[in-house]
Amino acid sequence: MNENLFASFTTPSMMGLPIAVLIVMFPSILFPSPGRLINNRLISIQQWLIQLVSKQMLSIHNQKGRTWALMLVSLILFIASTNLLGLLPHSFTPTTQLSMNLGMAIPLWAGAVITGFRYKTKASLAHFLPQGTPIPLIPMLVIIETISLFIQPMALAVRLTANITAGHLLIHLIGGATLALIDISTTTAFITFTILILLTILEFAVALIQAYVFTLLVSLYLHDNT
């Protein structure tokens, strides 16, 4: 069990070629586009959820920030779908890879910051120096605010990676313990299996919550710069 503990986090390959790109593209086929005059229940629920998320995300934005609506909705749908698909047995979760999460966080963060410096230059520079700061503390505060600005995409990526990875490891460990306890104590194995079921339900919630938190923080960064 210890040898295969991190096997689910390794990038899968087929015939020596990595297939991570195909796995990343797979969730896009789960959201069919409406092509009928009257939609079926699945597409109606899908459109209702998208409208609900859009209304929640864009309520704080001005007209310029709402131009990012398609990006934010696509982001939350992509992260949520990949997180949920990763809970299937023998599947690969792309969001457990820090490199991929950084690849999502850094461009979005950079786009929001560049937008702020382009359209709200004075307000963006004012974040580096709070009003009423004593003169001796100005250099230190500028350095601290600069570091906190550049650490934002790292915090986004690490938060998502750590939460998804920790949940998968717990499921793997408790599942292995359940199999090992079947021959030793049926009662203890049943209790462990019940804990595994509850943890799996919790992981479904965590998968959706982490997608929402990631997108919400990107939305807040955008709001601060538009």
Domain positions in the chain are 7-225
Q: Look at residue 35 and tell me whether its pLDDT is greater than 70.
A: no
b/e burial code for range 153-165 (CB count within 10 A of at least 16 → b): beebbebbbebbb
Give the tens place of pLDDT for each residue, 141-151: 888 888 888 89
- Tens digit of pLDDT for each residue in 146-180? 888 889 899 999 999 989 888 888 888 888 888 88
SS3 content of the chain, % helix, strand, coil (to 5): 75, 0, 25
Of residues 5, 4, 1, the one with CA closest to residue 166: 5
Mean pLDDT of 88-102: 82
C-alpha to C-alpha distances, 2 to 6, 7, 13, 95, 185, nearest whole angstrom = 8, 10, 22, 22, 22
Q: What are the angstrom distances between the C-alpha of 6 and each of 11, 20, 64, 92?
A: 11, 16, 43, 11
DSSP count for the chain of H helices, then E strands? 8, 2
Instruction: Indicate the pTM of the whole model.
Output: 0.78
